[in-house]
């Protein structure tokens, strides 16, 4: 026999423990836990104090502070830097539009993007290195972001139109950076003059954008009922996953040019991009295949029962659920790919790490300052990797990944 509880106070869950209770239970529960807590706090204090002292009193940040443009764009011609500034302005407008239209994730990314311009505009570098007009142009991007936010409230700007605009902006940015010999408006700037963070982001974003659809197609091909397609996709995936990225980069840098017909040459940066795309697509395919295998077969049978075609079942029912399930491993793969862009330095692509190494070797007094330069580069990679991870968590939360 059950009895109803009439007193609401008895139905209310207990209050969470206070700070003192939590500390006593989790940090000082018994002599062993108390000893571990004290030792850990002592180590943390020693590390923090030592790090603070090294950053502000010991380290020499001259090779970092004096070359902001080198770290950003490498040896890109200084008289053509307005093209890089115009590219930033386009992306600032797109970030503002996306913030207004997609809110949550894009708000954090846009604020971080705006913070980048603030930091660079007030970078403590000599005036000849970072001139006043450059600093003013960097701060002007904040106004462009605000303008995009205001325009983003238009009802005509649908998410589909905004996505197409993003793809178009990527093409326009490449056109601006490289130029064209046809119209004579923009002089050609070879990719061997590009460098720094520009090349790192270009390799990472390009490989991510290209490898994702290729990986999805490979995953679907590996589950195909046609033996020839399944065998080809399986061999491709297992072969690429069985060798390290550095070997694929060397193959595309040294072997592929020998196999091309005379007179045909693929740019070194393009070869690195193709190699990283192929490498990432194989791992993306396995992640997506895991998601496809997790979808109950009953959903496919039910869709067939109501008359859906195989294409409709895959594109509208199975694949969206599979990709939703594997967002964490896919983003983890993309973060790893972003960090692996440093391997492109092995084939003389001037990404961010190789630019830092070049600055160290440029002056004799910089030879002992590797810690400062590589520490700065590590912080840049950590910030961008954390932003990707944060965006992934926000996306998972909005899609309800891991919830029943």
d(CA 327, CA 206): 19
Report d(CA 387, CA 192) in Å as an integer.
29
pLDDT at residue number 397: 81
- Residue 17 is predicted with a pLDDT of 66
pLDDT at site 6: 58
Rounded Cα distance, 251 and 258, in Å = 10
Helix boundaries (H) for 130-190: 132-151, 159-178
Sign of CA dihedral 243, 247, 252, 254: negative
CA-closest candidate to residue 380, choices 196, 246, 121: 196
| pLDDT at position 342 | 94
Compute the Cα dihedral for 84, 277, 204, 168 and give only its sign: positive
Alpha-carbon span 282 to 293, nearest angstrom: 17
Please check whether residue 316 is in contact with residue 344, taking contact to mean a CB–CB distance below 8 angstroms. no
d(CA 209, CA 193) in angstroms, rounded, equals 24
Contacts of 167 (CB under 8 A, 6+ apart): none
Helices (H) and strands (E) in the chain, counts: 20, 0
d(CA 372, CA 351): 18
Torsion of CA 41, 42, 48, 53, to 10 degrees: 160
Q: Are 341 and 203 in contact (CB under 8 A)?
A: yes
Burial of 37 (0-12, 13-18, 19+ CB in 10 A): middle
How far apart are alpha carbons 212 and 159 in whole angstroms? 20
187's tokens = 């002089």
Of 196, 105, 88, which is closest to residue 148 (Cα–Cα)? 88
Contacts of 177 (CB under 8 A, 6+ apart): 83, 84, 87, 189, 194, 198
CA-based torsion, 42, 43, 45, 49: positive or negative: positive
Taken as a whole, the chain contains a residue count of 404
Whole-model pTM: value is 0.88
CA angle 211, 351, 173 (to 5 degrees): 65
Instruction: Give CA–CA dist 74/198, Å, rounded.
Output: 8
Mean pLDDT for each 10-residue chunk of the chain (404 residues)? 55 68 82 91 95 92 91 91 93 92 83 92 82 90 94 85 91 88 77 92 93 95 92 95 93 82 82 94 94 88 87 88 91 94 91 93 88 94 92 80 60
CA 341 from chain center: how many Å? Answer: 11
pLDDT of residue 13: 64
pLDDT for position 244: 93
């Amino acid at each position: 026999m059950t009895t109803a509880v009439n007193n609401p106070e008895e139905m209310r869950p207990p209050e969470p423990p206070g700070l003192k209770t939590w500390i006593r239970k989790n940090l000082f529960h018994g002599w062993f836990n108390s000893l571990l807590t004290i030792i850990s706090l002592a180590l943390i204090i020693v590390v923090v104090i030592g790090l603070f002292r090294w950053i502000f009193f010991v380290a020499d940040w001259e090779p970092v502070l004096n070359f902001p443009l080198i770290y950003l764009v490498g040896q890109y011609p200084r008289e053509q830097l307005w093209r890089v500034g115009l590219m930033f302005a386009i992306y600032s407008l797109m970030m503002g539009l996306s913030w207004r239209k997609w809110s949550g994730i894009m708000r954090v990314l846009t604020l971080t993007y705006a913070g980048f311009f603030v930091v660079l505009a007030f970078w403590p570098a000599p005036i000849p290195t970072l001139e006043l007009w450059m600093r003013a142009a960097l701060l002007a991007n904040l106004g462009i972001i605000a303008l995009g936010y205001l325009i983003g409230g238009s009802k005509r700007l649908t998410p589909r139109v905004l996505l197409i605009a993003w793809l178009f902006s990527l093409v326009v940015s490449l056109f601006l950076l490289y130029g064209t010999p046809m119209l004579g408006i923009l002089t050609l700037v070879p990719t061997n003059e590009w460098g720094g963070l520009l090349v790192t982001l270009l390799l990472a974003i390009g490989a991510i954008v290209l490898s994702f659809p290729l990986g999805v197609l490979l995953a679907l091909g590996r589950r195909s009922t046609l033996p020839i397609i399944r065998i080809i996709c399986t061999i491709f995936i297992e072969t690429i996953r069985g060798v390290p990225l550095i070997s694929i980069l060397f193959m595309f840098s040294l072997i592929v040019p020998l196999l091309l017909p005379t007179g045909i040459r693929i740019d070194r940066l393009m070869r690195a991009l193709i190699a990283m795309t192929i490498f990432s697509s194989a791992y993306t395919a396995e992640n997506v295949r895991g998601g496809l295998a997790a979808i109950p077969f009953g959903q496919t049978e039910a869709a067939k029962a109501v008359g859906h075609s195989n294409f409709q079942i895959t594109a509208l029912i199975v694949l969206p659920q599979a990709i939703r399930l594997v967002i964490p491993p896919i983003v983890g793969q993309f973060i790893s790919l972003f960090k692996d862009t440093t391997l492109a330095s092995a084939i003389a692509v001037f990404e961010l790490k190789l630019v830092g190494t070049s600055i160290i070797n440029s002056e004799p007094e910089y030879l002992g300052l590797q810690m400062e330069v590589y520490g700065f580069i590590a912080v840049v990679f950590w910030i961008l990797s954390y932003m990707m991870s944060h965006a992934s968590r926000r996306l998972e939360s909005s899609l309800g990944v891991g919830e029943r």
